[in-house]
Amino acid sequence: GKDSKGLSMSRVFGLLREGRNVREMMIFQLLLGLAFAVYHSMFSVTAAERFGMRAEDLGLLHSFSGILSVLINTFVVGWVTQRFSQFVVLTSCALTLSASMLASTQATTGTHVLALVVPMSLASAIMYTVMTAALTKMVADADTGTVIGLTHASRSLCGILSPTLGGYLYTTYGAASVGYFGGAVAALALAYWGLISSSAPGAKKAL
């Protein structure tokens, strides 16, 4: 039928309304995605202000992060998912992101920032891949395209909201507030993930 192709709004709302696991995973993804997006959107500004990093330094740092993401998606994600459950992987990713963003508020040198880029790149690259894979397993084959589109739409929404929210935090409360916000929201996502996983029988295995 027509709804089996593309990102049909009726199918999207149907999946969110009827699929508890899909709905809960999307909320978790939105919380974690927003935390990381806000931090990432203001990273260049805060790094330049707090550590005096120049444009070329920031460019190299972003390139390093991009290379890490490629390597992680190519060589690490498969190895991790074969050895640990999705619950353990996503819990670890949320914990790593929260701890790294909070730790960044105490960083005093560019070297500290570089050290934090590694675990953050690792966690963010793994979490998006594993979340998408988990969501596709929760729906029928006919809905795979729809749920993948939904995950991309949620990331786009975070990308739309994060510069405005990050800019407000930066100008109102200072550079460190961005890290505190990201860490707190990631911690909230982690608490929500633990709650929904413990409340649903077999959820830790299924998710």
| Long-range pairs for 40-44: beta carbons < 8 A, 24 or more residues apart | 40/162, 41/159, 41/162, 41/163, 41/166, 42/163, 42/166, 42/167, 42/169, 42/170, 42/175, 42/178
33-76, pLDDT tens digit by residue?
Answer: 999 999 999 988 988 888 888 888 888 888 988 899 899 988 99
The pLDDT of residue 202: 46
pLDDT surpassing 70 at residue 205: no
Q: Higher model confidence: residue 14 or residue 190?
A: 190
70-116, pLDDT tens digit by residue?
Answer: 999 889 998 999 999 989 999 999 999 999 999 999 998 878 888 89
pLDDT surpassing 70 at residue 167: yes
Mean pLDDT of the chain, nearest integer:
87
- What does pTM read for this prediction? 0.85
The pLDDT of residue 9: 73
